[in-house]
Structure formats: structure tokens, C-alpha cells
A and B are shown apart, each in its own frame.
Chain A
């Protein structure tokens, strides 16, 4: 279950968001469905090719080393690398800031809420004798002493008559009135999840509500918040996809180094093929990451917001330098011959008689990442009379195989540890049986 979820998250097509479940499927899908994107694909392949070449050529490797060495033995006066240290003190003013803001905003929020409740009631009123109902819901200001429009200061007369805001009851002239279309009012009261309600400037008095600009401001700012909560631009989706992929690949890279170092020190926990399959999957992910970042760079930009173009290019640049610095610099797997040599050297060092064995308890497989092996069918196990240790070892072996196939190398590591312990115990038992 967990396994399926993980893959699902990792291999959505960045263009149509279809779940393709593996990198290979995704590439095939690209070729079949999004043929107009072919140039992108070919450049991924290009990078992929470079990845391989870089890792495989010994000469390049040599030169990379040279770059890192830069071995100048002059050590008279040079600056040391600045070790990271704990930051100095900071003072947070956030609580104080929020308390001041709360005091001010509570008032505004209450006002806006009041308006929204009134608006909701007004919308339930039927067109017949609307005016009377409106006045029942909102008390209109007495205009008998008001001679000028409070907002534009023009004096009222026969041609410039008094009007009332249907929401707060205040007085204004026609030019200071705004007509809120019922349709829009409806979306403010009950926001639906499209948020794309269009501005309707063609509002007639019949299908709209006369309100003042002060009330309009309050409603507008509420509506803006609603829209932003609903609308998530495509670039945000692509970016969070990109970040997810990057953290996945980072995990894989860390694991790669762990296996690499383990193999290099002659341990037998992992196999050379583990390193190779992990390397392939890192390369696959590198391609995906490259593709997404290119997609981000090519999201159409509104000419009104040139900043977006800079942002998108900057993300693309940062991503390609991430790929160059983190992914292309992976050391190539050791050759089988290298490995054989390392193993023999290690064997020569280890003597058999100092195996620590007191009270070995079998460590349980810690399932921390949501992966667990499926139950092993009984066919694989030996007959009932067989040694329970042997049986257990077989089970663990089949777990290891499953874990390896699923590229769960954390688990491979701890299972392998288990298996080694079982082997030790079995060996001891044999010795004991012989002696008795």
C-alpha cells in the first residue's frame, strides 16, 4: 500500500498530472502523448548521457580529484575554513506584533462579518416589496438634515437625490453608489470553489444591490482572501512537485554514499548491484527534476509581471546547478575486481576466534518508512523438522530479496544484520552439537 503511494507521488506527469508509476513509463508517456515536448525530452537524454559519461570516464574522474586536491603544501599563512557555529541571540517580536494587530483587526473582522450576515439576509429577500424588507433589515439613516453627500460633498437637490447603502444604511449620492451584482454577492456569502467570478460592470439597479464604497472595500478584501485560498497557480504546483522530487533524490543520494562506503570498506551488507540500481534510479529522478524545472521555466508569463519570468528562470538555474553539484558528482561504483580485492584484504585481517556472541537477540526489523515485506509463502520454508534457525534465515533472506527489489536499502541493511546474527548463532549451535 505504502509502496504504491510513494510511487504515485513521485511519477506524476508534470504536464497532465497523470500518474505513471515509474520513470520509464513516464518517459514513454512523454514520447507518446506530449510529442510537442520532444525537444525537452532529447535534452534530458542529453543530460542523462552526460551523467553516465561523467561517472564512467576514468580520466574525468582523475581531473575532478585534481580539482579537489589543489594540494598546495604552503601552509604558512592561510585562512581556515569557517566552521559552522550556533547563531547568536535573536529576539522575537512576533507575539507583541500579533497582539497589537489583533486589537486592531478584531474590530474590522467583526464589522465585515456583520456586513456579510446582512448581505446574506438581503439576498433571501424576494424582489416584491424589496425596499421595505431592506429597511427592516438595515436601519436607514434619517436624511432630512443631510444636505450634502458625505463622501463627495456635492449638495443634494432634485437631480442629485439621496440614496441609502443597503448594507450600512448610510447616505450618499448616485455617483458615490456602487451596484453590487447579486451574482457576485452570492459568491461572497457562499464561496464556491471556483473563485473565478468575473467582474460585471454592467450592473443594473434591478439585479444588483446599492452599497457605499466603504462597504465595498470591506467586502472586496474579504473576497480577495477567499480567491487566494482557492487559487493555486500552476507554478506553485510544479514547484512543490519539484521540491518533493529533490528531497526524494537527496535521500537516494545519501543512501548511495552509505552503500558505496560500505562496499568500499569490504562489508557484505549490500551488493554491487544495489549500488548500480540505485544509481540508475537517481539518474531517472535527475531527469524528472530537470524536466519539471524546465517546465517551470516555460510557464507562460503575464507581461504585467516580469518578476515571474526572472523567478522561473532562477528556479531553473538553481535546479540545474543542483543536478550538476549533487547528482553528477556521484562517484562511480567500484568494479567487481576492486570489490574482490577489498574483500580479500578485509578477510585477511579478521581472525575467526574473536566473534562476539554473548546473548545475541534477534533485532526486529524496524519499519520506519512505511514499508514491510509481504508474508512469505510456506513453499519457501523447509519442512517442519528442520532447524528453526535455518527456517528463520530463509525467511529473512526472502525479506531481503523483497526489500532489494523495492529499493528499500535501509531495510536491506538491517535485515542483513539480522541474517548475519542468525548465521552466527547457527554456527555456534553446530559447534555445540558436535561437542555434545
Chain B
């Protein structure tokens, strides 16, 4: 179960089936993302695709044609796309059309298309199933930044998610049994809809090993902690601090950034250094880069000192040959350099220490409260980080007798934090307070003493904390040990049992890269199991706060009336 291979296999099929010749690839916004997650421009050029065009661009209808080009069409089966294609066929810009839909398409739509093909330019019409974004080999996303409306499914997001998951299942040839988180309506709704389609399209889902897979549907609200934490493994950290969007990181805001680095692509497929370091701790990456540079120096018989990230940067500048040979590594020097700057500037190490204590240490209300207060008085801490810290406190000690949320909010107000930020504290409780969760999120038994890990090698990059384990870790451990309780995670329709080894876990409300690492390590430790993680999106804390804000918009306050010092206008 590797979603990147699944998508690549389809793309190879698509590009090789059409006859040889110069090609243009016509896509929509979403299918463009699907392809750009796994293929770079030069790779797609080797498949004779020399031009890309967007069917949903306002210029498309009026753009000029080149009759000697063959047109590969890869679009979602939406009404807008069908209409645009009909118009295109009536007045074709290109010589021949090979049409591929990214999901199940209705016969009626095929008929309409055929009726418009008066010039007989269409050579091929097919449906294949790649209606999702393959992020890592075992991580996919539907690409929906928000999916809730009034704490329930936004109907169009539900529809899109059903389509996305159906295409994941088909592309991997899985016809799973479905389990869902018992207390969550959104999970049950999603499961039911998927089940309906599997029954309706039973001939499509007639795979031989059908009984051996499981789709487990979870609700983000059962674990609102994980997306709020600072991250220290590479991919998660880059997403948290710099934001990864379709494998791309925008660095243009950095002072003096060279033009070729203003947007960098971080792709596990095209960048081996990234693939190797994706789950490494931030400190180790610096060490790995240094190791590469040392190897290079040995070849070049040079002896430049490399003891800090600044040293690395000057090394790259003084050795253009190194830059040429390992362009990717140069890119990572820049990225790690920027992470390093932010960690120091915003005191993220201190931040993270308190976050980790709150998230995963024994109940010790008094000392936790003191740590939070101390940080709230630290001027280097960003307002958003201060707010997140109070949110963590609010979640952890929501029902504690000595809860001093009011005092902490007053402290935030004294810092001059705006109402927009303060609102997040109310939102998170309404969204995922204790009333919304079925699991014991702050399991004291599992709490371990904080240990500081020292990463040697580079000055200024040490003290990396990896204490917290997402709730998903426990859920999956239970699952692979056959201990996941039926009344908390029932089978859809009540039926089904047995132990499935291919497991697709889907989180409504978004997964995180930290959870991706969890899945990866559980896969490693349990070679008999093969777990794939998916989410409506892949969150960092900023996108998570936005989603929570959307989800609770216009929802009357039920569980936060006691928080009197935050009032909405």
C-alpha cells in the first residue's frame, strides 16, 4: 500500500497509452496538484508532455490551438469540467484527445461528451482513480483546508472526501471493512457513505483479497493536542514553521534569499536527502549536512571549519562545485538555516518544553501553571505561541478544581494579545473539549518523565524534545494487538471481525506529519501490518486553528460559558 507508487503507475499508464507525439496535458486545479505531488516538470517532459494547460483558467476557451499537438486530458469528473470539455470538442484546439477522469464518471456525462465530438478528435475515454494527494508513501490528503460547518460535515466537503477515499481504495485495490469512532457522527456519516458506494459499485470493488483490509475512520476532535504542538522532526517542523503546500515551501519572505530559492520543492520522490531525513530530528539534519560537506572536503582536499549553520552557508558559497553536485543539499542548508533562526528568535525550545510537559506529563497542575505563566511573561514568545500554550492548558485542565484559565487569559490580555487570538481558546474547547472526546487524551499511565536529548555536533542546535506521542499511537498499538475495543470503534453495520493487516486510517478534520511518523514507526515495528494514513488535509497549528475557527463559527457557546473574560462581539 504505497500511494505514491499507485499514482505514478496511473500516470505512466496514462502517458504511455496515447500514441507517440508532442503532447499537452490539460488539467484542472485539483488534478494539477495530484500530479505535481509526484512528478517534476523534467520527468513529465521525458514522457513527451511539453505543455501544461488549465481547463479552469479564464483564458482557456480563447487560447490558441496547435493542431499538431495531442492533448492528454486529466480532470475530475465535475459538471464544470464536462461543460468545458464539450465546448472544447465542438471547437478543438488540438489534433487528438485522450481523456482520463480522476474518478468514477456517470454514463450520462460520457454521452453528452460523445454528442459534442463532431470532429471525431477523441481517441480514448477512461476513468482511473487518483482523486487524492499522495504526500508520503503512506500518507495521503484530500486537500480540504476545512471540512466542518457548525461542527458537522460541510456537505460538499463530505462529498469530496467520499470521492477521495473511494479513489484511494480503488487505486490500491482494497475493499475494506469499515470501523469508525463511536462518539463521532461525522465518522459514522463518512463510513456509511463510503459503504453505500462500495455496494453500489460492487463490480468495481470485486478484488480477490477483499477481506483483508480495514478502513478506520477517526475524528480529529478526539486529539486536538497533536496539531497544536511544536514539531522537531524535519517534515513536520518545516510544515509547522514554514508551511508545506503541495510539496512546496515559500521562502520568498526571507531577507536576501536568492531567486532560485524563493520557492523550494520538498519531494520525497525527487530529493533523496529529503527522503532520508524526513523523520530525522532537526539537530541530526544539521549533522548530516555537515557530514556531507566533510566528505566533499576530503575529496576536494579542503579544510574549512564547519561548526554552525552560518559556516555551512559560507561553505556552500565558497564551493560552487558542491552546490552543483548537491543542489538539493544546498536547498536544505537554507531551509534548516531558516528553521534555526526561528527557533532562536521565538524561543521555541523553551516553548516546546512546556508544551510537552502539558501534553504528556503526570498531573502536576501547580507546576504546569507556573511554567505557563513564566513563559507568558517572556517577551520573545510570539503571541500565537502564547495563545496556543493557554489553549493546551485549557484542554488539559478543563475540569480541574483549581483551573486558573481566567488568570492566564488576563495575562494574555496584559501582553496586548488581540481578541482574534483569544477567541481560539473558546473555539478549541467548543470544538474538542472533554464533551467531544471519547479517549483518555491525558493518559497518566503512559506519561514519562521528560528527558532532554542532546544532539551533538553543531552549536546552537541542540536540546530537541520528542516526548509526546499522539493518541493515534495508542489506538494503532491496540489495533495491531487486537485490543481495539468494539464498542469504542464499532464495525459499520455491526458486522465484521477478524484481524486485518492492511489498514487505512482516515482522520476527519486533518492528519498531521507527527502522526505520519507514528504510522511509519508502527509499520516498522510490526512487519505483518501495513498502515496507511489519510486526512481531509495535513495540518500545522496555523491551519488547524483556522479550521477550528471555521467549524465553530456561529455555534452558540455551550461548554465555555464559564470563560467570562473572553466575550465575542
Shortest Cβ distance from A73 into chain B, in angstroms? Answer: 9
Q: Which of A88, A221, A232 contacts B6 (CB 8 A)?
A: A88
User: 8 Å CB contacts to A: which residues of B13-70?
Assistant: 13, 20-22, 24, 42, 45-46, 50-51, 63-69
Chain A residues with CB below 8 A from B126, complex form: 90-94
Q: How far is the CA of A67 from the CA of B328 in the complex (A)?
A: 11
- B520–A314 touching, CB < 8 Å: no
Q: Which residue of A lies closest to B129 (CB)?
A: A88
Q: Which residue of A lies closest to B277 (CB)?
A: A78
Tell me if A89 is interfacial: C-beta within 8 Å of chain B.
yes
Looking at chain B, what size class is its interface with the partner chain? 35 or more
Chain B residues with CB below 8 A from A356, complex form: none
Tell me if A322 is interfacial: C-beta within 8 Å of chain B.
yes
User: 8 Å CB contacts to A: which residues of B261-303?
Assistant: 268-269, 272-273, 275-280, 284, 288, 291-292, 295-296, 299
Q: How far is the CA of A91 from the CA of B104 in the complex (A)?
A: 9
Q: How far is the CA of A221 from the CA of B107 in the complex (A)?
A: 29
Tell me if A85 is interfacial: C-beta within 8 Å of chain B.
yes
- B50–A318 touching, CB < 8 Å: yes
Using known A-B contacts A93-B125, A93-B127, determine if residue A66 contacts B2 with beta carbons closer than 8 Å.
Answer: no
- A98–B114 touching, CB < 8 Å: yes
Using known A-B contacts A97-B110, A97-B125, A321-B42, determine if residue A82 contacts B2 with beta carbons closer than 8 Å.
Answer: yes
- A72–B291 touching, CB < 8 Å: yes
- A82–B269 touching, CB < 8 Å: yes
Shortest Cβ distance from A332 into chain B, in angstroms? Answer: 18
Interface centre among A82, A108, A243 (most CB of B within 10 A): A82
Chain B residues with CB below 8 A from A239, complex form: 21-22
- B292–A70 touching, CB < 8 Å: yes
Tell me if A114 is interfacial: C-beta within 8 Å of chain B.
no
- A314–B63 touching, CB < 8 Å: no
Tell me if B559 is interfacial: C-beta within 8 Å of chain A.
no
Chain B residues with CB below 8 A from A88, complex form: 6, 9-10, 128-129, 170-173
Mask, B117-148, CB within 8 Å of A = 1, is 11110111111110000001100000000000
Tell me if B8 is interfacial: C-beta within 8 Å of chain A.
yes
Q: Which residue of B lies closest to A235 (CB)?
A: B68
Q: How far is the CA of A92 from the CA of B481 in the complex (A)?
A: 42
Tell me if A136 is interfacial: C-beta within 8 Å of chain B.
no
Q: Which residue of B lies closest to A318 (CB)?
A: B45
Shortest Cβ distance from B99 into chain A, in angstroms? Answer: 9
Mask, A83-106, CB within 8 Å of B = 1, is 111111111111011101100110
Q: How far is the CA of A311 from the CA of B23 in the complex (A)?
A: 9
Using known A-B contacts A77-B517, A77-B521, determine if residue A89 contacts B5 with beta carbons closer than 8 Å.
Answer: no
- B66–A311 touching, CB < 8 Å: yes
Chain A residues with CB below 8 A from B291, complex form: 72
Using known A-B contacts A82-B269, A317-B45, determine if residue A90 contacts B51 with beta carbons closer than 8 Å.
Answer: no
Q: Which of B46, B276, B292, B295 contacts A322 (CB 8 A)?
A: B46
User: 8 Å CB contacts to A: which residues of B76-104?
Assistant: 95
Shortest Cβ distance from A413 into chain B, in angstroms? Answer: 29
- B64–A304 touching, CB < 8 Å: yes
Tell me if A62 is interfacial: C-beta within 8 Å of chain B.
yes
Tell me if A152 is interfacial: C-beta within 8 Å of chain B.
no
Chain B residues with CB below 8 A from A304, complex form: 64
Tell me if A63 is interfacial: C-beta within 8 Å of chain B.
yes
Tell me if B321 is interfacial: C-beta within 8 Å of chain A.
yes
Chain B residues with CB below 8 A from A63, complex form: 296, 299, 321, 325
Tell me if A7 is interfacial: C-beta within 8 Å of chain B.
no
Q: How far is the CA of A104 from the CA of B111 in the complex (A)?
A: 11
Tell me if B113 is interfacial: C-beta within 8 Å of chain A.
yes
Q: How far is the CA of A87 from the CA of B11 in the complex (A)?
A: 9
Using known A-B contacts A87-B12, A315-B50, determine if residue A305 contacts B64 with beta carbons closer than 8 Å.
Answer: yes
- B67–A228 touching, CB < 8 Å: yes
Shortest Cβ distance from B510 into chain A, in angstroms? Answer: 21
Tell me if A306 is interfacial: C-beta within 8 Å of chain B.
yes
User: 8 Å CB contacts to B: which residues of A288-313?
Assistant: 304-308, 310-311
Q: How far is the CA of A77 from the CA of B278 in the complex (A)?
A: 8
Chain B residues with CB below 8 A from A321, complex form: 42, 45
Q: Which residue of A lies closest to B117 (CB)?
A: A101
Can you report 29 residue pairs joining A to B where beta carbons are below 8 Å apart?
A: A63-B296, A63-B321, A64-B325, A66-B325, A70-B273, A70-B326, A74-B276, A77-B278, A83-B5, A84-B5, A84-B9, A84-B12, A85-B5, A86-B9, A87-B13, A88-B128, A90-B127, A96-B107, A96-B114, A97-B110, A98-B114, A101-B120, A306-B64, A311-B22, A311-B51, A311-B69, A314-B50, A318-B46, A321-B42
Additional A-B contacts beyond A87-B6, A96-B110 (15; CB < 8 A) = A64-B325, A66-B295, A66-B296, A77-B278, A82-B5, A82-B8, A91-B128, A96-B107, A97-B113, A97-B114, A100-B114, A101-B115, A104-B115, A307-B51, A311-B50
9 interchain residue pairs of minimum CB distance? A77-B279, A100-B114, A318-B45, A87-B9, A88-B171, A314-B50, A78-B276, A93-B125, A90-B128
